[in-house]
Amino acid sequence: MFNKSKSPAKPSSVPSIPPLPDMPQAPQSTQSAQPRPAAPAPQAQPARNLSTLSADLKFDGNVSGSGDLQVDGQIKGDVKVGRLIVGETGAIEGSVSADYVEVRGRIVGAVSGKQVKLISTAYVDGDITAEQLSIDIGAYFQGRCIQGTRNPAPSAQSAAPRPSAQPAVAPQAPQPVPQADAPQRIDMSSN
């Protein structure tokens, strides 16, 4: 009753495209006239295991290490790992620091990483410091975005008031402000 039309066959005059050097080679139906030099075998890297905090677990306290972590449960505390994936059911209440951060769930706190990805189901309420930031349509982000290198470790020092570097008796001439983020003051009066 219904016939499926066949797609036209490729003409044999079209040259085949060689695979990329780092990709495994698929068997080719037509052999080229020139022999290919053998590509060097890729270096075997040790397999990194992914630690998982499952959806039915709650963890109170800080998590740190150099490995990979997937959070599908809940963490109340700071997280500092090599790679972090927050699943759709995952939630972190605290600061996050990792080389690679992928958020599908919820983070309430500062996020710091070389590469940060917010997938469409992500909810982030806090500042993000990243060299590379990707935010999908539909993701929620409330906070500041700072592009650049991340701080080695978010600490309580940033929240504490900085000690004043000025002496108790102020000299007559204005002194430069030692803090880089303080406003600059220029005295335009003629003395």
- Angle (CA) 102-107-112 rounded to 5° is 60
Query: What are the domain boundaries of the chain?
Result: 50-145
Indicate if the pLDDT at residue 115 is higher than 50: yes
Q: What confidence tens digit (pLDDT) does each residue in 53-89 have? A: 999 999 999 999 999 999 999 999 999 999 999 999 9
| Average pLDDT for 137-155 | 78
DSSP annotation of 179 reads -
Measured between alpha carbons, how far is 74 from 65 in angstroms, rounded to an integer?
A: 18
> What confidence score (pLDDT) does residue 124 get?
96
Indicate if the pLDDT at residue 99 is higher than 90: yes
Determine which helix (DSSP H) or strand (DSSP E) holds 132, and give its type and residue range.
strand 128-135
Residue 190 CB-density burial (10 A; 0-12 exposed, 13-18 middle, 19+ buried): exposed
